[in-house]
Structure 1
Amino acid sequence: MPNAKLFNYLHLHFIVFVWGFTAILGELISIEALPLVWYRMLLASGFIYLYIYIKKIRLIISRKLFFVLFFAGIVIALHWITFFAAIKVSNISITLAMLSTGAFFTSILEPIFYKRKIVWYEVFFGLMVITGLYIIFKVEGDYLTGILYALCSAFLSSVFSLINGKVAQKYNPSMISFYELLSGVGVVTIYLLGMTIFGDTTGGFTISFFQLSTSDWVFISILASICTAYAFIASVQVMRYLSPYTVMLTTNLEPVYGIVLAFLIFGETEKMNPQFYYGAIIILCTVVLNGIFKNAKKTKRQGTLSNITK
């Protein structure tokens, strides 16, 4: 139905906008990256469990799947920790521009993960991404620590997407997300308990850890409910009506939405050197072109198979 497809396409843009707003919340929340992620994952797993309970989704899984989801949970926790750490030590524009390199890391890891050959345009696009990174490094060297954190976050995001790409084809996405979030918050909890036991005064479960301001509670609640639990469940829903290609291209607008929002909200602190935007545009264009090439190749292959079966 055309109306349903249009509604879900607009819904997808709203979801991507919400994902872009995640970085804004990361800047507004005053606590450090580690406790921020702990609160986010704890609350989000609770919200998703509530959805699972209402929908009566089964949570019984095999031991093998549990360990896969457990590892994925650690990866996504580290991804979020480095993501918010990058925002704390640099700014939103730097972090989101670097996060766009996730597609580049995926193009490198995917052939290894799925045991396929590297194609020529992936190498070419990889060189384009490196060019964009070089421009950004050259003009924004003061943000080196933030750039490195964000690149680590992009790499971990790529690893996470490859793991989920395999398990999501066989199992319920809400169940997968619940176990991943719960595993992630479990590992972070153990780490924080270790810091507490060994008397690390810079972290751990201290009294100040649980003394959040009213604004922090509000922003973390929005982050966990709308930007995590809702956005995940809604994104799964729209994928029933839209092609993976449309979803992929639209998702690439997340850094654009985030950078524009950051500039409108935070003003001069998010204004970058013009060359930064040249580098960011090169990276974003590379990601989009990579998706176009992959879709064209997939369409051509499907057309060939269709002709063979006629």
Structure 2
Amino acid sequence: MTKLAINRNLLLLHLTVLVWGFTGILGALISISAIHLVWYRVLIAACSLFIYFKFTRKSIKVSKTQFVQLLFTGGLVGLHWILFFQSIKVANVSVTLICLSSLTLFTALLEPLFNRQKIELLELAVGILIIFGIYLIFTFETQYVMGIILGLLCALCGSLFTIINGKLVKHTKATTISLYEMFGAWVWVSIFMFIFGGFGHDMQLNSSDLFYLLLLGTVCTSAAYVAGVSVMKELSAFRVALVTNLEPVYGILLALLFFKREEQMSIGFYGGAIIVLGAVFLYPIAKTKFEHKKVKKQLPTI
């Protein structure tokens, strides 16, 4: 692949990550509750993805087993987003995005358990750094304790469905997984709302909410996902991981731009944020070097 094509895909990936970072801004701007926000989001995303499949004439057929797996995983995705937007509403965008960065920690600890492997010392060291960074934030931003807890639970759910999707994508296309999981999320959120009387007058949208939701469901969910998948065909997983780690950085900068004083935090918060983001960003670099050394040691000497 030419250098121009690589740069084009890198630019597209950065724009995609910037769009993902903008999700938190929209969550703060939309006035309805977190659960109603997610209900509308996954409905719009599922519909737009279905239109995408119809337009491209690609098959969306899956087996019954796959359908059930995707439906239940969709419930986990829905819960992840409810916790994400509720964390923003009780705290702010910056706190939520930093807590979401702990997804790396949860994945590093849970993935070996799912695959019945040993937890590497590097993962453990990164995990300890992330825990220390979040603890620092926790001690300085006591008014956001509930938001921090919800953000961490959101990261845990995100880690779980990321691990599950890592296995599902081996025999199902990523776009197909996205379609059925959006539908699954909508089904489970609808069931929850039906049981607890969530379908009421508080679901009514004003014109700005409708605009933001359409933007969230199409550009920030469906289009961004398709773009994210397309660059993965051309760029290495390492490059994708590095750029994706910039999501909380972009999100926090956007939050400061949009909300200014509301997003200005204590020195302790920024100290903890630097530790968390530093650990998350440097993790793939350290892991690559560690694996290279491991391979060299295993090579036979002549």
Verify same fold: TM over 0.5: yes
TM-score scaled by length of structure 1: 0.93
Q: Is residue 205 from structure 1 mapped to residue 199 from structure 2 by the alignment?
A: yes
With over 3 angstroms needed to count, the CA separation of the structure-2 counterparts of 1:274 and 1:42, relative to structure 1, is: same
Shift of 1:303: 6.3
State the Cα deviation string for residues 178-237 of structure 1 (Å, max 9, x = none). Answer: 1101011011111111223xxxxxxx111331x200000000000000000000000010
Aligned partner of 2:275 among 279, 282, 294: 282
CA distance in 2, matches of 1:51, 1:286: 37
Provide the secondary structure at the position in 2 that maps to 1:117: coil
Matched with 2:173 is 172
Shift of 1:299: 4.1
Aligned partner of 1:242 among 223, 235, 239: 235
CA distance in 2, matches of 1:248, 1:104: 14
Letter in 2 for 1:283: V
Shift of 1:268: 0.5
Provide the secondary structure at the position in 2 that maps to 1:158: helix
CA distance in 2, matches of 1:303, 1:72: 39
Provide the secondary structure at the position in 2 that maps to 1:115: coil
State the Cα deviation string for residues 61-114 of structure 1 (Å, max 9, x = none). Answer: 112211211121011100000000000000011101111100001011011011
Matched with 2:220 is 227
CA distance in 2, matches of 1:180, 1:273: 38
Q: How does 1:59-208 map to 2 (within 5 A)?
A: 59-196=60-197, 204-208=198-202
Q: Are the aligned partners of 1:77 and 1:184 in contact in 2 as well (CA < 8 Å)?
A: yes
CA distance in 1, matches of 2:272, 2:286: 21
State the Cα deviation string for residues 107-145 of structure 1 (Å, max 9, x = none). Answer: 110110111111111111111111111110110011000
Percent identity, please: 42
With over 3 angstroms needed to count, the CA separation of the structure-2 counterparts of 1:28 and 1:125, relative to structure 1, is: same
Shift of 1:245: 0.5
Matched with 1:57 is 58
CA distance in 1, matches of 2:201, 2:140: 41
Shift of 1:300: 4.7
Q: Are the aligned partners of 2:132 and 2:272 in contact in 1 as well (CA < 8 Å)?
A: yes
Which residues of structure 1 form unaligned runs of 5+?
A: 197-203
With over 3 angstroms needed to count, the CA separation of the structure-2 counterparts of 1:264 and 1:181, relative to structure 1, is: same
Aligned partner of 2:249 among 256, 273, 284: 256
Matched with 2:48 is 47
CA distance in 2, matches of 1:45, 1:298: 39
CA distance in 2, matches of 1:303, 1:282: 31
Aligned partner of 1:214 among 194, 207, 216: 207
TM-score scaled by length of structure 2: 0.96
Shift of 1:30: 0.5
Across the aligned residues of Structure 1 and Structure 2, the Cα RMSD in angstroms comes to: 1.6
